Amino acid sequence: MSRTRIAYFIGHLATGGAESQLVELLRYLDRVRFEPFLILLRDAGAERAASLVDQIYSIKPSKGESNILHSFAKIVGALREIKPTILHALLPEPCILGFAAARLCRIPILIGSRRSLVDCYRPNHSRLVIAADRFATTVSTRMIGNSMAIVNELAILDKAPPSKISLIYNGIDSERFNPAINSPVKTGLGWNSEHMVFGCVANFFDYKRQTDLVTAAEQIVRSFPQARFLLLGEDRGTMSKVRQEISRRGLDDFFVILPGRPDPENVYPAMDVYVCTSDTEGFSNTILEAMACGKPVIATNVGGNSEAVIDGQTGLIIPRRSPDAIASAAGTLLQSPDLRRTMGNLGRKRIEEQFSVKTMVAAHEELYAQLLAQSGKMLSPK
């Protein structure tokens, strides 16, 4: 019996939460039953999947081509060549373009993955694009949300029936991210065991609000001058603003900003506490990574953060846009090494039990099998 062909479609594979989750899904997908192909709108990060799929189709327009029409034609061409039974698109743009092309190619099963709350991206788009995003939800066979917050939005805002929505949480490789990693990053930055490091791993988008941590840091260092702050991420428009705020508050000696890197598992050991200051989140990979590394977490009460972090047990949930709350939570953790240790251990256990990469992959495979059975398609046995 032939394997079920799945075409995965995403914008790119550069560093990001959705991109990392797709790489992990491709890495562990059952090749006895499924044959994966990859379609990218842009080439960035394609090398991450080079050994994981037989073929990668790049939709990047050639010089002189108009973007939307040529891109759509290339998507149609790729789908006609692959002839998949399932198209699994991740994020809004691939869902909009991919589902339209898939309907033209008569692909029977259309799966969309929404990874962000709509306030993260819809305000920046026209009414036409927003309508297209909602239409993609309507024509999909199934929409996956990676948090209950997103599942609820799909049901309430886009009026998707419960039968068309699935919840699949992100999964973390707990062998790659673990508390036993011995990394030289902390000492390489000139810090020692006396320094308490608060870290944040997030690309510099406005909604990540790293400036809130900078504001809180000014309060924290007054009572604990040995506190240090580590920010890791690629510049997506606000890094200079964050640097200016650090300098304006006289905190240059307390902060280090590192560019994004392919081995974040070697950066988490430099941190004593992980801090998520986001204004909006779907379901944060970096919170899970930090928990897998045994770090207590301070996180804003947005999106799926409170689904990942158990307030008072694996970390502290605080209101968004509240530097005072960040500083207060930091003070609580600064005063209690035992609390930090207990939260870190419980967080690690939570990852192993509920948010492993194997659980995430198995949930996708189960969904594929369910939809194939409903459509009357045969699936190769394990």
Q: How large is the average pLDDT for residues 59-75?
A: 77
Q: Do 201 and 270 sit in the same domain of this protein?
A: yes
Amino acid letter, residue 340: R
Check whether residue 324 and residue 365 sit in a common domain.
Answer: no
Q: Are residues 31 and 89 in the same domain?
A: yes
**Is 65 part of a structural domain of the chain?**
yes
Regarding whether 363 and 239 lie in a shared domain, the answer is no
Does residue 370 sit in the same domain as residue 292? Answer: no
Label residue 15 by pLDDT band (50, 70, 90): confident
CATH number for 96: 3.40.50.2000
With respect to residue 234, please indicate whether it lies within any of the assigned structural domains. Answer: yes
| Domain match, 362 and 309 both | no
> Residue 246 above 90 pLDDT?
yes
Do 225 and 341 belong to one domain? yes
Query: Is the pTM value of this prediction over 0.75?
Result: yes
Question: Would residue 177 count as lying in a domain?
Answer: no
Residues 166 and 209 in one domain: no
pLDDT, tens digit, for every residue of 130-166? 999 999 999 999 999 999 999 999 999 999 999 999 9
Write the pLDDT tens digit of every residue in 304-334: 999 999 999 999 999 999 999 999 999 999 9
Tell whether 110 and 201 lie within a shared domain: no
How many structural domains compose the chain?
A: 2
Residues 154 and 281 in one domain: no
Which of the four pLDDT bands, split at 50, 70 and 90, describes residue 77?
very high
Which of 26-40, 49-63, 309-323 has the lowest average pLDDT? 49-63
Q: How sure is the predictor about 66, in pLDDT bands with cuts at 50, 70 and 90? A: low
* 103 & 198 share domain: no
* Mean pLDDT of all residues in 108-113: 98
In a domain, residue 163? The reply is: yes
Domain contains 382: no
> Does 382 have pLDDT greater than 80?
no
In-domain check, residue 45: yes
Domain annotation covers residue 330: yes
Percent of the chain with pLDDT over 90: 90
**Is residue 98 located within the same domain as residue 80?**
yes
- What range defines the domain where residue 191 resides? 185-354
